Amino acid sequence: MPDRIGRVALAIAAIIVSVAVSAADRYDLGRPATPAEIAGWDIDASPSGAGLPPGHGDVRQGEAIFAAKCASCHGAHGEGKPMDRLVGGIGTLHDKKPEKTVGSFWPYPTTLFDFVRRAMPLNAPQSLTPDEVYAVSAYVLFLNGIVAQDTILDADTLAKIKMPNRDGFVSAYPTLGAKP
Amino acid sequence: MSPRTPESTEPTAPERQDGEARRFTRRSLFGASAAAAIVSRTALAQEGDNLPPSVPEWQLEPGEETLSQPYGKPSKFEANVVRRYRQGLPEPPTRLSSFSLTPLQDLHGIITPNGLHYERHHGGVPTIDPSEHRLMVHGLVERPLIFTMEDVTRFPSVSRIHFLECSGNTQNWGAPKPELTAQDTHGLLSCCEWTGVSLATVLAEAGVKPEAKWMLAEGADAASMTRSIPIEKALDDALLAYAQNGERLRPEQGYPLRLLLPGYEGNTNVKWLRRLKLGAEPFQTREETSKYSLLMPNGVARQFNFVMQAKSVITSPSGGHRLTGPGFHEISGVAWSGSGKVARVEVSTDGGASWRDAALQEPILSKCLTRFRAPWNWDGGPATLASRVTDETGYVQPTREALLKVRDVRSYYHYNAIQNWSVAASGAVTNAG
């Protein structure tokens, strides 16, 4: 029993010490971020599917949205000009003049969703609803032959898509630091 | 006021009084009709009138009043020292996503004036009211927190001088375009004193969980630009910077708050910083997959190429300059490394056939520009000037040929090969790649 009391006392002492140390490391600046505040800003989506919002959209809806809000910069069928080409080029990455597009180069479907959601269209970022972002993503992936015309994308189906160049990336961090 | 000619330099006392009266008359004229006065002044002034033995016109009347410029500007005679787009490159479809280049060939020492710091924006430059700017820290932390700018500036502060270089700087992969200047070839490079709070201090406030390995940094611009940063870097020498060269950040550099990752490629130094999210894996954002990755000759893309490798460039003489004649010319330039300090800079005047050491100007700081200089007596014949840096890790700046053996224009980013400038017998200096 005394042994146990001793252990508890030691544990309490350890907690007190750790609080004292961490408090000394801290300046008590800032305030807690509320769940609602975080939810409003936490817009990133990861390859695991984490961060993808509820909602869904299909290729046909995406085609209409693309024509209205994307085609003026990316071409009617994602062929590019004046801005980035989004479609084609699959299998050209070994060529002298590789064609880097969403279809040929981008390794993750979540990156497409994430980027459109945060930054597109250029003149009205964050104006598309999650449903619209799913739909536009579906259309761009359909144009690249990656999904079928009757595809409906949501958090689950989008994250499961394997992009053609999924295995085409290696990380230079940390091992290649200063190599040419 | 026209300059005083030699004949008028020894006036008698009455003449001097007349001169005073004349000056007052002319100042009145300025008040009454500035345009007319300027015209008459221009008509009176002749070439050489401001040179010895004449006394120049600016000594013969008072200058601009104190506080005529509450925020001072460079002399009007330096009006050509400005940022600009790259010569020969078609204008981008929109300047909302574009870049501008620092005029390295016109700068001295190692500090880039704030108005000349290079720009790279992805959705324009936002106008952010600092009282309404917030930094959110969340994800794999013990305590998700929100900071005001007042909170951020209350933390212990630190100032350090570091370069920033866009990893797209220097596109010398192909045949060199002779007309390019150092601004064109190397102008996505600047160096400032940055003041802010150590990121480790702010992260300690939130309490980083052991499983956190990466940090997403997000901007508050229209691109909401994001990059994944290794936790090791975040806890090492990263700063949350709110000031550059003594004043608050310029809007183009992220006002009111930016991430500053010494030695890392420019794009990771997220401007207008609004959010830091700790995670177990990289977030695979657009900027670290489809952009800022190196497509190698085997078709595989190398991503997370964070460190800006050692590099140097002669800025004087450099492309667009013209040597006035044979004789002494100082070779001067800047060298830098994202891995640490510059250890040595060598220069060549024969295109790399022979090298000699340049003098390094103090201070020599880690992940910072170092100014180097070497005397040169030009014999008036053709010459090719080049510089080669070795950093404190022993890394030596490669030749273009050596770099091309590893990767080529398909990789686009992180070109750090030796830069050559051709000097013709005429004195004209041109880009030799």
Looking at the fold, whether A11 and A41 belong to one and the same domain comes out as no
Largest CA distance in chain A: 80
Last residue of a domain, one of B277, B302, B327: B302
On whether any CB of chain B is under 8 Å from the CB of A125, the answer is yes
pLDDT in tens, B108-120: 999 999 999 999 9
Nearest by CB: B307 against A111, A118, A177: A177
Is the CB of residue B165 less than 8 Å from the CB of residue B112? no
The residue with greater pLDDT, B357 or B31, is: B357
Structural domain including B318 reads 311-431
Cα three-residue angle B416-B83-B313, rounded to 5 degrees? 25
In a domain, A83, yes or no: yes
Looking at the fold, whether A112 and A133 belong to one and the same domain comes out as yes
In a domain, B66, yes or no: no
Is the CB of residue A136 less than 8 Å from the CB of residue A113? no
B7 has a pLDDT exceeding 50: no
In a domain, B426, yes or no: yes
Compute, in degrees rounded to 10, the torsion defined by CA atoms A110, A102, B94, B170.
100
Looking at the fold, whether B176 and B55 belong to one and the same domain comes out as no
In a domain, A170, yes or no: no
Looking at the fold, whether A12 and A63 belong to one and the same domain comes out as no
Q: What is the pLDDT of residue A20?
A: 43
User: Quick check: A168 and B144 CB within 8 A?
Assistant: no
Of the candidate ranges B4-8, B93-97, B271-275, B425-429, the one whose mean pLDDT is the lowest = B4-8
* Residue A52 to residue A140: CA distance in whole angstroms: 17
- How far does chain B reach from its first CA to its final CA, in angstroms? 49
- Find the CATH number of the domain harbouring B235: 3.90.420.10
Looking at the fold, whether A25 and A99 belong to one and the same domain comes out as no
Q: What is the pLDDT of residue A151?
A: 97
The residue type of B414 is H
* Residue A126 to residue B409: CA distance in whole angstroms: 34
Banded pLDDT at A41 (limits 50, 70, 90): very high
In the A/B pair of chains, how many CB contacts fall below 8 A? 171
Q: Quote the tokens at residue B69.
A: 């410029």
Average pLDDT over residues B314-332: 98
ipTM: 0.88
Is the CB of residue B194 less than 8 Å from the CB of residue B239? yes
Banded pLDDT at A153 (limits 50, 70, 90): very high
Looking at the fold, whether B163 and B263 belong to one and the same domain comes out as yes
In a domain, A99, yes or no: yes
Looking at the fold, whether B254 and B389 belong to one and the same domain comes out as no
Is the CB of residue B133 less than 8 Å from the CB of residue B256? yes
Q: What is the pLDDT of residue A175?
A: 74
Average pLDDT over residues A35-42: 98
Q: What is the pLDDT of residue B33?
A: 40
Structural domain including A61 reads 36-160
In a domain, B152, yes or no: yes
Average pLDDT over residues B374-382: 98
SS3 label, residue B334: strand
CA distance A94 to chain B (A): 4
Last residue of a domain, one of B302, B336, B359: B302
**Nearest partner of A74 among A66, A110, A91, judged by Cα:** A66
pLDDT in tens, B147-177: 999 999 999 999 999 999 999 999 999 999 9
Residues of A in contact with B289 (CB under 8 A): 106-108, 111, 169
User: Quick check: B306 and A173 CB within 8 A?
Assistant: yes
Looking at the fold, whether A3 and A72 belong to one and the same domain comes out as no
Q: Quote the tokens at residue B150.
A: 């007042």
User: Quick check: B283 and A44 CB within 8 A?
Assistant: yes
Is the CB of residue B311 less than 8 Å from the CB of residue A140? no
Looking at the fold, whether A40 and A22 belong to one and the same domain comes out as no
Looking at the fold, whether B40 and B143 belong to one and the same domain comes out as no
Looking at the fold, whether A114 and A134 belong to one and the same domain comes out as yes
Q: What is the pLDDT of residue A176?
A: 66
- Find the CATH number of the domain harbouring A83: 1.10.760.10
Token look-up 């700068």 returns: B107
In a domain, A15, yes or no: yes
User: Quick check: B310 and A178 CB within 8 A?
Assistant: yes
Nearest by CB: B145 against A30, A100, A173: A30
Average pLDDT over residues B10-27: 39
Looking at the fold, whether B243 and B357 belong to one and the same domain comes out as no
Looking at the fold, whether B294 and B317 belong to one and the same domain comes out as no
Of the candidate ranges A53-62, B29-38, B317-326, B383-392, the one whose mean pLDDT is the lowest = B29-38
Looking at the fold, whether B296 and B391 belong to one and the same domain comes out as no
Q: What is the pLDDT of residue B48?
A: 82
Looking at the fold, whether A20 and A96 belong to one and the same domain comes out as no
Q: Count of CB atoms within 10 A of residue B416's CB? A: 25
The whole-model pTM stands at 0.89
Pairing of strands B383-391, A56-58: unpaired
Looking at the fold, whether A103 and A73 belong to one and the same domain comes out as yes
Looking at the fold, whether A106 and A137 belong to one and the same domain comes out as yes
Banded pLDDT at A22 (limits 50, 70, 90): low
CA distance B372 to chain A (A): 22
Token look-up 């010398």 returns: B172
Q: What is the pLDDT of residue B399?
A: 98
Looking at the fold, whether B111 and B41 belong to one and the same domain comes out as no
CA distance A164 to chain B (A): 13
**Nearest partner of B385 among B325, B312, B336, B327, judged by Cα:** B312
What's the number of domains chain A is made of? Answer: 2
Looking at the fold, whether B334 and B385 belong to one and the same domain comes out as yes
HEC string of B5-33 equals: CHHHCCCCHHHHHHHHHHHHHHHHHHHHC
Last residue of a domain, one of B252, B281, B302: B302
* Residue B96 to residue B88: CA distance in whole angstroms: 20
B77 has a pLDDT exceeding 70: yes
What's the number of domains chain B is made of? Answer: 3
Q: DSSP letter for B287, please.
A: H
> Which A positions 80-119 lie with beta carbon below 8 A of chain B?
82-83, 93-94, 98, 100, 102, 105-108, 110-111, 114-115, 118-119
B6 has a pLDDT exceeding 60: no
**Nearest partner of B369 among B110, B98, B11, judged by Cα:** B110
Average pLDDT over residues B214-234: 98
In a domain, A165, yes or no: no
Largest CA distance in chain B: 88
Looking at the fold, whether A64 and A112 belong to one and the same domain comes out as yes
The residue type of B46 is Q
Pairing of strands B359-360, B239-244: unpaired
In a domain, A178, yes or no: no
A145 has a pLDDT exceeding 90: yes
Compute, in degrees rounded to 10, the torsion defined by CA atoms A156, A123, B268, A26.
-80
Looking at the fold, whether B290 and B259 belong to one and the same domain comes out as yes
SS3 label, residue B369: coil
Looking at the fold, whether B161 and B31 belong to one and the same domain comes out as no
Looking at the fold, whether A15 and A42 belong to one and the same domain comes out as no
- Find the CATH number of the domain harbouring B417: 2.60.40.650
B392 has a pLDDT exceeding 80: yes
Q: DSSP letter for A62, please.
A: H
User: Quick check: B305 and A180 CB within 8 A?
Assistant: no
A175: phi then psi, degrees, rounded to nearest 5: -75, -30
Average pLDDT over residues B22-36: 38
Q: DSSP letter for B264, please.
A: B
In a domain, A172, yes or no: no
In a domain, A144, yes or no: yes
Looking at the fold, whether B427 and B353 belong to one and the same domain comes out as yes
In a domain, B81, yes or no: no
